[in-house]
Amino acid sequence: MSKKNKEKRVEYGLEHQGKSVEDFWQFIFFTDEAHIDPSSNSVGYILREEGTRYDSVNIQERGEKTGVKLHIAGWCNWHSKCTSLEFYNDEEQYIEKPKRPRKPQKRKKETPEQFSHRLLEWDALIGHDKDVKPQGNAMTQKYYTERLLPIYIEAVSQARLNQRYPESWWLMEDGDPSHGMRKIGLAREL
């Protein structure tokens, strides 16, 4: 754990240490998203004696990591939990165009051959379009605000309608940097 993370956790603990389930924690909706690749756990464990880790009988080949990746989201609080998990897929491939360097200008004392040579070098630096494939363990803020956040907001809204203390209910996100409260944008606004 980093020093900064530890400081934030201690600060959070001190801020909420006197709060009980009845007056605070029962009103918090906790959310989380999980990404599971069942094929990544294909190699089994071996029971071995200490110090024999690198013996040939204890080394296993890892299989190819292919398979169905599961993306799951849900929420819970002290009184209830989501009736069903949300399965989603935010793995859109896209093409990333490289940033083009500035086109060179002809210099005063440069011959046309030298300039055409510099143009060829510039053209070679441009690069090719890059096919970006998703990692499978993150989502964009846009996808989060369109697909998952409305489900969480609806759950909090329903709790506020059915309880005596409607202003007490809070949504506590998991703090994922790709879409959570640390990133400025639509998710934070909503």
Q: Please state, for a pLDDT cut of 90, what percent of the chain lies above it.
A: 7
Residue 183: inside a domain: yes
Virtual torsion, Cα 151, 32, 82, 23, nearest 10 deg: -100
Listed in order, strand segments (DSSP E) in 9-110 are: 28-36, 70-76, 86-87, 94-96
Range of the domain at 124: 93-133
Domain count, the chain: 2
Q: Averaged over 81-104, what is the pLDDT?
A: 78
| Same domain as 184, residue 143 | yes
Asked if residue 80 and residue 97 are part of one domain, the reply reads no
In-domain check, residue 63: no
pLDDT at 3: 92
Q: How far, rounded to the nearest angstrom, does the alpha carbon of residue 85 sit from its chain's CA centroid? A: 18
Tell me if 145 is assigned to some domain: yes
Please indicate, yes or no, if residue 27 is contained in any of the structural domains.
no
The reply to whether 99 and 86 lie within a common domain is: no
Residues 74 and 154 in one domain: yes
- Mean pLDDT rounded to a whole number for the chain: 79
pLDDT in tens, 136-181: 556 777 888 888 889 988 998 888 887 777 778 888 877 776 666 6
Answer yes or no: is 107 within a domain. Answer: yes
Tell whether 139 and 127 lie within a shared domain. no
Give mean pLDDT, residues 50-74: 77
Q: Answer yes or no: is 181 within a domain.
A: yes
Calpha distance 92→139 (Å, rounded): 10
Greater confidence, 36 or 113?
A: 113
36 backbone dihedrals φ, ψ, rounded to 5° = -125, 130
- 14 confidence band (pLDDT: 50, 70, 90): very high
